[in-house]
Amino acid sequence: MPKAGDHIVIVGGTSGLGHSIAQAADALGAKVTIAGRGRERAEKLARSISPRAAGLHIDLEDSSSIGEALADGEPIDHLVLTPVYGGNQSIKDFKVEEALRAARIKIVAFAEIVSKALPRMKPTSSIVLFGGAAKARPYPGSTMVTIVNGGMIGMARTLAVELAPIRVNGISPGLVEDSPRWQKRIKEGAGPAVEAMRSRSPTRRLPTTEDIVHGVFFLMDNPAANGIDLERDGGALLV
- Mean pLDDT check: name the lowest of 11-15, 106-110, 225-229, 234-238: 234-238
Mean pLDDT of the chain: 94
| For residue 194, pLDDT beyond 90 | no
Please state, in angstroms and rounded to a whole number, the distance separating the CA atoms of residues 135 and 143: 10
Give the tens place of pLDDT for each residue, 51-104: 999 999 999 999 999 999 999 999 999 999 999 888 888 999 999 999 999 999
Amino acid at 96: V
Whether the predicted pLDDT of 237 surpasses 90:
no
Cβ neighbours of residue 225 closer than 8 Å, sequence gap 6 or more: 167, 169, 218, 219
Q: Give the CA radius of gyration of the chain.
A: 17
7-230 CATH choice from 3.40.50.720, 3.30.70.260, 3.40.190.10, 3.40.50.300: 3.40.50.720
- What does the alpha-carbon distance between residue 232 and residue 70 come to, in Å, rounded to a whole number? 29
Which pTM was predicted? Answer: 0.94
End-to-end CA distance of the chain: 31
Strand 54-57 relative to strand 31-36, pairing: parallel
Mind listing the pLDDT tens digit for each residue in 13-66?
Answer: 999 999 999 999 999 999 999 999 999 999 999 999 999 999 999 999 999 999
pLDDT at 167 over 90: yes
* Of the candidate ranges 34-38, 57-61, 191-195, 224-228, the one whose mean pLDDT is the lowest: 191-195
Q: Which residue, 5, 84, 114, 13, is CA-closest to 52?
A: 5
The answer to whether residue 139 scores a pLDDT higher than 90 is no
